[in-house]
Amino acid sequence: MRTESCFRSKSLTGEFEGGVVLSSGTDYSPTGVAQGGIVDTLNGKWFAVLFQDMGAVGRIPVLVPVTWKDDFPVFGEDGKAPEKLEIVSSRPGYPYEPLYASDRFLPKEGLPKERQLALVWEWNHQPDNNLWRLLPEGGLEIKTDKIAINLTHAKNTLTQRMLWPCCGAEVTIDASSLKDGDIAGLCALQYCYGLVGIMKELGNYYLVRIVRNTEKDKDNMARVDFMPGYLTDKIRLDGPEVTVYLKANFEDMKDRLDFYYFKKDKFVKVGAPHKMEFRLSHFTGNRFGLCVYSTKRPGGKAIFKNFVYSN
């Protein structure tokens, strides 16, 4: 159980007094609400802005009311973080942007390249802007320039947050410019990643499901970073384009990821569900990611079109 502590002193060098001010989980998770700060509003009310570990989705913001007694903050309601909290906005009518969105990847005229993408997108590291572009007709093109051991070594993986308790994402992948050994896909990015996408092999295209499973690798964890993921499913495709879909379920700590691809007129499930994890080796919750990497020869590229976010 995480706890929130607070201490005070009349001097920075003086004796501090205090202790635990909040020891509370929620109905959603037994882990404690903690780690943050307190803020006051224009109308004189106080709140603590904290977080709670929620399994594979990562850390969720939690707002807790704060009152004062004898010049010391009192957190929560009857010592607990409330499940629901009614507050009055200090900016009524302000259009707050969501943290997730669908995207057709259409260029924005007059903006520099690094500002072309919607703010919901984040690269998995500092991007190489020479290796990606938005196409005039819509679409994100990502090119490789190195050999990658596995998904976590890929450059320019573009990601969005996953939404608790459930969310999904689909995207169409054009793999016609991949090189043999290249893999392009939609992934849940974390140390224990899961991916559904296209692999090119000997001139043919295959729908693939690739996962990293730490339970399977627990006796060899020191080398997992340098091992390829497990290719569990491989289905021959008629051509280089496919629409894939990931469905994530974090409710009640299920942390389940299901894989699909569009065949004829419906989405078809691929392989078994994958158990997502939150591991400190990446220190972030799972994220949807668009990725392409080369295992034999760099220079291949893939195009991602019509990204659709659902919840």
* Segment 277-304, tens digit of pLDDT: 988 888 889 999 999 999 999 999 999 9
* Segment 13-54, tens digit of pLDDT: 989 999 999 988 776 677 888 888 999 988 889 999 999 889
Where do the domains of the chain lie? 4-75, 113-310
CA dihedral 81, 86, 89, 94 (to 10 degrees): 100
Residue 292 identity (one-letter amino acid): V
Question: Within 13 Å of residue 106, how many CA atoms lie on the same side as its CB?
Answer: 6
* Segment 46-71, tens digit of pLDDT: 999 999 889 999 988 899 999 999 88
**pLDDT attached to residue 166:** 96
Residue 224 identity (one-letter amino acid): V
Rounded to whole angstroms, how far apart are CA atoms 106 and 214? 38
Residue 35's region, left for phi above 0, alpha for psi from -120 to 50, else beta, is left
Query: What is the architecture, at CATH level 2, of domain 113-310?
Result: Sandwich (2.60)
User: For the whole model, what pTM was predicted?
Assistant: 0.90
CA geometry: angle 267, 204, 236, nearest 5 deg: 35
- Is it the case that residue 242 has pLDDT exceeding 90? yes
Better-predicted residue by pLDDT, 5 or 308: 308
pLDDT average, residue stretch 170-198: 97
**pLDDT attached to residue 216:** 63
